[in-house]
Structure 1
Amino acid sequence: MIKKYTLILFSLFFSVPVFATAPLITDDTGTQGKGKFQVELDYAVEATKSNSGQELYTTFSWGVADNVDVIVGIPYNWHPFTEEGRPIAIQKGIGDTAVEIKWRFFESSPQNGLSFALKSGVSLPTGDAEKGLGNGDVSKEVMMIATKEWQHGAFHCDVGYVHNTYSLEEENEVLRHHLWHASVAAEVRMMKNLRSVVDIGIDTSTVTTSETHPVYVIGGLVYSVTDSFDFDFGVKGGLNNTAPVTTVLVGVTSKF
């Protein structure tokens, strides 16, 4: 049996679904508005010293109320299996499907610009766990989100918890079940249609043998072709040896 002590795509974004304004990982409190929709297509390619992985992530958001969104995310993954640090096979296919609800429960006056949201969801085992494309069981997550808007942009802060469960005995032995995430991000409007973004965060290491938790930083740009269509580009770097050295992030977002 192929050993897969390293699940490559855990480090492409986060260990659980996180549907933020691309290329950010840190989410904001914004919602679509009642009856409105958003489709987001994001591509990430990771390069480390010993392996590389890719992910194409499609996210659908539906505004069921002005302050409530239902979000569904479907990943398609390419990644190698490794044995003793050497890639020995390539696997690809649909990963675990994420279903989330985001509720913005507090919003101050526009002059103050402060808002809070709660997001919770599940990851459904639609990926093949034997191929390393999913956990093989339902996982759960909850995230608290804060946003502070100002004249030239916005600040965001996320704190989240994930409970991962795995169907394979091997993964239950070497991977953690309780994971935490904390991150902050900023957006600055440089021109009418152009924003620069930066994001920094820390995640619990998924591997039980590691007490060094991955820390990342992202820098990128978001260009709004219209009010309802965006292009984004970013680069994610690891700030310690447990995070990917470089991940390139590219995406498009359409609202209707």
Structure 2
Amino acid sequence: MKKERKGLMIMNGVFTRTVMPLVTACFLGSSPAFGAHPLITDDTGTQGKGKTQIELTGQFDRDGEGGTRTEGWEAKAVLTCGMLDPLDLVFEVPYTWSSAKDGETVRQDGFADLLVALKWRFFEKGGLSLSVKPAVTLPAGDEEKGLGNGRASYGVNLISTYAKEPWSFHVNLGVTHNDYKLEADREANRDDIWNASLAAEYKLAESWKLVANVGAERNADVTSDTPPAFLLGGVIWSASENLDIDAGVKWGLNSPETDLSFLAGVTFRF
């Protein structure tokens, strides 16, 4: 029994630092349903009426804190449907694998909470555009394993993009309200999480883009007031008009953020 309890305590630490930030990131935006993957920051772009986009992405995280080494994988499928030219409907399904080593190895995997979002571009003039993106996460993940909140949560993101070739710049400001089913999660985590981030894209050639991203959010851990902050760099190759392949690396700028992440993805449009 003591061994099982220790394993549960380890896994709670793993998911607090790795999986739950990824779930929260769904609100912040990631990938062209959310921004051009591997960027975390969203852009104002939409698919257009009747058009569809499918993204398949993967992420590997590595972190070490308090003598515990944690590693996690996340695979994500994102479907974006153009309802109107300035309005997209987004569905996201994440699956995670995580392990922690602290004298013993504990592994866990499963589906995380599902995301449904709308992105509406309500202003566009010259190179400047503005969008608003409300989102809700549905309790599909097992909260006992740390894979979800156990209850629906919601958030909203304000997005701005300024584009002037070969550059594009994106700014996100948002807030997420998390509701937790488990009393232990309610006691350990803050409910309302703000986020702020800035991203830049540079068109290196007709089919190549370099991307960079920096951002921070309020720490969900009630015992810490230090906002997790990250820096990301990556590349996007447009193999064709309707096919993108991307890769990136994300570094934690402080202790609350995951130390190192590798990201890759493929995007299909039709």
TM-score, normalising length from structure 2?
0.89
Describe the shift of the 1:171–1:6 C-alpha distance in structure 2 as closer, same or farther (beyond 3 A).
farther
Give the counterpart of 1:134 among 122, 144, 148: 148
Describe the shift of the 1:243–1:196 C-alpha distance in structure 2 as closer, same or farther (beyond 3 A).
same
Describe the shift of the 1:185–1:121 C-alpha distance in structure 2 as closer, same or farther (beyond 3 A).
same
Give the counterpart of 1:21 among 36, 43, 49: 36
Describe the shift of the 1:146–1:87 C-alpha distance in structure 2 as closer, same or farther (beyond 3 A).
farther
Give the counterpart of 2:21 among 11, 17, 22: 11
Partner of 1:211: 225
Contact 2:14/2:98 (<8 A) preserved: no
Describe the shift of the 1:13–1:230 C-alpha distance in structure 2 as closer, same or farther (beyond 3 A).
farther
Alpha-carbon distance between aligned partners in 2 of 1:213 and 1:73, rounded to the nearest angstrom: 25
Q: Which amino acid aligns with 1:98?
A: L
Partner of 1:168: 182
SS at match of 2:197: strand
Give the counterpart of 2:71 among 32, 42, 52: 52
Partner of 1:31: 46
Alpha-carbon distance between aligned partners in 1 of 2:229 and 2:78, rounded to the nearest angstrom: 25
Q: Is 1:101 paired with 2:118? A: yes
Superposed CA RMSD in Å reads: 1.5
Alpha-carbon distance between aligned partners in 2 of 1:105 and 1:187, rounded to the nearest angstrom: 22
Partner of 2:86: 67
Give the counterpart of 2:109 among 75, 80, 92: 92
Superposition deviation, residue 241 in structure 1: 1.1
Q: Which amino acid aligns with 1:180?
A: W
Contact 1:5/1:174 (<8 A) preserved: no
Alpha-carbon distance between aligned partners in 2 of 1:27 and 1:134, rounded to the nearest angstrom: 23
Q: Is 1:151 paired with 2:165? A: yes
Q: String of CA shifts for 1:166-201, please: whole Å, max 9, x gaps.
A: 111111110111101000000000011000000000
Alpha-carbon distance between aligned partners in 1 of 2:38 and 2:104, rounded to the nearest angstrom: 28
Superposition deviation, residue 90 in structure 1: 1.1
Q: Is 1:184 paired with 2:198? A: yes
Alpha-carbon distance between aligned partners in 2 of 1:213 and 1:87, rounded to the nearest angstrom: 30
Alpha-carbon distance between aligned partners in 2 of 1:93 and 1:162, rounded to the nearest angstrom: 23
Describe the shift of the 1:102–1:180 C-alpha distance in structure 2 as closer, same or farther (beyond 3 A).
same
Q: String of CA shifts for 1:183-230, please: whole Å, max 9, x gaps.
A: 000000001100000000001111110111111010000000001100
Q: Unaligned stretches of 5+ in structure 2? A: none
Sequence identity of aligned pairs in percent?
38
Q: Unaligned stretches of 5+ in structure 1? A: none
Contact 2:136/2:152 (<8 A) preserved: yes
TM-score, normalising length from structure 1?
0.94
Contact 2:20/2:146 (<8 A) preserved: no
Superposition deviation, residue 15 in structure 1: 4.0
Alpha-carbon distance between aligned partners in 2 of 1:170 and 1:98, rounded to the nearest angstrom: 23
Q: How does 1:113-132 map to 2 (within 5 A)?
A: 113-132=127-146
